[in-house]
Amino acid sequence: MRIRHGDKSGARPESNRGRVGAPQVGGRHHVSGRDFPQTYHRGRRVNTFHIALKESKLYFATPAAYIVGAMFLALTGVFFVFDITAPFAEASVRGIVDWASFFIIFLAPLLTMKLLAEEQKLGTLELLLTSPVRDWEVVIGKYIASLLILLAIVAVTLYYVLLLYVFGEPDTGPILSGYLGLILYGAAALGIGMLGSSISSNQIVSAVVGIAILLMLSYVHLIGGIVTGLASSILDGMSMNQHIADFSRGVIDTSSVVFFLSLAAVFIFLTIRSLETRRWR
């Protein structure tokens, strides 16, 4: 859809007078079909960066992200204290990474459940998809915004690392690899959460779908303990927990890096395809 600014015959452009309210990416405000392109296409195509920027501002402007982040930090903090005060405790981030990755199973879907589900509920997703913005720009822009929020939350846990250096002598290598693994794990989890958000207009349903998929992919290796042979190896290779375990031990396996990046890419692709199917409904 293009906005015409006049032609050689001298025809005057349509007046913008009376148009009110700029919609926010993320579906927080309902807008009309005439308002949406005017906001998102002022002489040029809105790209992924602008969508990510707008969505990031919405995260920081609402209390939901702060509440979810505070719960995540409180829970990881409690278990961090248990780990370092246990008898014969080691000055390592293995406990932090293990518990943080577990709580990300719930954190990621909670961060992403609004991104597309609320757009569907308010009816602004259809307007967004019929605007000059491409489907992949919408999905990746919103994904980047959620990733930035997750990185900000994980960055606060570096306070625990500081305490390790104050009261012990931890090895820096496992700390760096552990946090790299945690970020990759979170990136994949957000991709899965995005797919859940695209499936339903109900945010609770979207979160439940994301959590269910993450639980399955994180603990599928437990089934591998029941079966044997090739099936067991395949299930172990599909387990997110099995891959992040190497990072927490200070081992950076390129196959694990590729696994998490591929997992994020696959679910982002599925999310884009999910949006594309809405055009045919």
The pLDDT value given to residue 150? 95
pLDDT at 44 over 60: no
pLDDT of residue 71: 94
CA dist 162 → 74, 76, 264 (Å): 17, 15, 30
What are the structure tokens assigned to 190, written together? 């957000």
Mean pLDDT of the chain: 81
Domain map (residue ranges) of the chain: 35-280
**Residue burial 90-101, b: 16+ Cβ < 10 Å; e: rest:** eebbbbbbbbbb
Is residue 203 within 8 A of residue 114, CB to CB? The reply is yes
Give yes or no for residue 240 having a pLDDT over 50. yes
CB 181 within 8 A of CB 247: yes
Report which of residues 89 and 280 the model is more confident about: 89
Q: What is the crossing angle of helices 135-156 and 254-277, to 10°?
A: 140
Structure tokens at 24: 């926010």
Structure tokens at 29: 């405000």
What is the number of other CB atoms lying within 10 angstroms of the CB of residue 222? 11
Q: Which pLDDT does position 221 carry in this prediction?
A: 87
259 and 218 Cβ atoms separated by less than 8 Å: no
Alpha-helix runs per DSSP H in the chain:
35-40, 48-61, 63-85, 94-122, 124-129, 135-156, 158-167, 172-199, 203-219, 221-224, 230-238, 240-248, 254-277
Question: Residue type for 279, please?
Answer: R
Whether 250 shows a pLDDT value over 60: the answer reads: yes
Q: How far apart are CA 253 and CA 238, in angstroms?
A: 15
Of 57-71, 83-97, 160-174, minimum mean pLDDT range = 83-97
Neighbours of 1 (CB within 10 A): 10
